[in-house]
Structure 1
Amino acid sequence: MTPQSDEDEVWRQIVASFNDTAEHDSADQPWPDSENLSPEPTRRVVKPPEGPLMSGSFGDQLRDDELRDDELERRDDDDDDDEGHFQPPPPPPLPKLDLPTKLAWVALFGGPAYLLVAAVAGWHMEGWALFTAVAAFIGGFVALVVRMGDGPPNDSGWDDGAVV
């Protein structure tokens, strides 16, 4: 027999038994012992006595022990509430900008801002003011793109890992 004919025979058996019911229903099978869960441990709840306290130092000691147990139990309950809560660490501070970068950002937004304010206020704009505002926008954009750089970071080795 060839391997192809074996595969064909297995495939025919699978197709023929597609609508057959299982011999043993899975509900009839018992759980394996390894999947049985142990019952939860019982917690001891200590209630303060409602009657008069025992006199003497032994009664005071008993009362203090009960209060400590109650406090510990409340702390355990509080810890359970915060168990799934994630608080991310604070973000690192923003990097400090040097003077050329600050000037490039001011030029990038300052040129169009001046043109917008002048248009809304109805100011008469001279040719040199219009040219300066447009040149500031273009110069700020070019300065930021040039300072951005397109090479790999200097601190990485020969293998950057996955680059997206």
Structure 2
Amino acid sequence: MTPQSDEDEVWRQIVASYNEPDSADQPWPDSENLSPAEQEPEPTRRVIKASEPEDVDETPLVDEEEEEEGHFVPEPPPPLPKVDLATKVAWVALFGGPAYLLVAAMSGWDMQGWALFTAVAAFIGGFVALVVRMGDGPPNDSGWDDGAVI
């Protein structure tokens, strides 16, 4: 027999057994039945009457003990790192220059040549300062082992 004919035969058996009664009518084996102690209790439900909203049953859906037991409280995040004055000035220059130009253009202010030059120079200077301060080397606390260096 070829593998194709085996596969066709399996499909014929599946199709032929499609209308046969299920094994769902057969009882469970006793080894798979749960004892009453192992069965989960049904959750408590509240019933709300549409005609009388003030007569709502105030039974909680989940016990307060269970709610506190599974509640996760994360630890507070670490504080943000301290930023030195040069980095703060660079960020202010990076965003301050274009912000000034945008406000001046939208307000219709007459921009002098020196103000325009200062705003553009602040943007370029702030960008350059941040790029230069980024650094290119490994962190100082990397230790003696630099990993795989090729």
Displacement of 1:120 = 4.0
Displacement of 1:105 = 0.5
Could you say if the C-alpha distance between residues 118 and 17 of structure 1 is closer, same or farther in structure 2, counting changes exceeding 3 Å? same
Aligned with 1:140 (options 118, 126, 139): 126
Aligned with 1:14 (options 10, 13, 16): 10
- The percentage of counterpart residues that share the same residue type is 68
TM-score (norm 1): 0.57
Aligned residue identity for 1:133: A
Q: Specify the alignment match of 1:158 in structure 2.
A: 147
* Structure 1, gaps ≥5 residues long: 42-76, 160-164
Q: Specify the alignment match of 1:39 in structure 2.
A: 36
- State the superposition RMSD in angstroms: 3.0
Aligned residue identity for 1:80: E
* Structure 2, gaps ≥5 residues long: 39-62
Aligned residue identity for 2:79: P
Distance in 2 between residues matched to 1:153 and 1:28, nearest whole Å:
68
Aligned with 1:93 (options 64, 76, 79): 79
Aligned residue identity for 2:73: Q
Choose between structure 1 and 2: higher helix proportion: 1
Displacement of 1:104 = 1.0
Could you say if the C-alpha distance between residues 24 and 121 of structure 1 is closer, same or farther in structure 2, counting changes exceeding 3 Å? closer
Q: Deviations over 1:81-126 (max 9, x none)?
A: 2344333322221111112211110101111222233334443322
Distance in 2 between residues matched to 1:82 and 1:19, nearest whole Å:
53
TM-score (norm 2): 0.61
Q: Deviations over 1:18-41 (max 9, x none)?
A: 312266622133324443222238
Distance in 1 between residues matched to 2:24 and 2:75, nearest whole Å:
48
Q: How does 1:75-86 map to 2 (within 5 A)?
A: 77-86=63-72
Does the alignment pair 1:25 with 2:25? no
The runs of at least 4 consecutive aligned structure 1 residues that moved more than 4 Å come to 149-154
Distance in 1 between residues matched to 2:146 and 2:28, nearest whole Å:
54
Q: Specify the alignment match of 1:131 in structure 2.
A: 117
Could you say if the C-alpha distance between residues 157 and 19 of structure 1 is closer, same or farther in structure 2, counting changes exceeding 3 Å? farther
Q: How does 1:64-79 map to 2 (within 5 A)?
A: 77-79=63-65
Q: How does 1:47-66 map to 2 (within 5 A)?
A: none
Q: Specify the alignment match of 2:51 in structure 1.
A: none
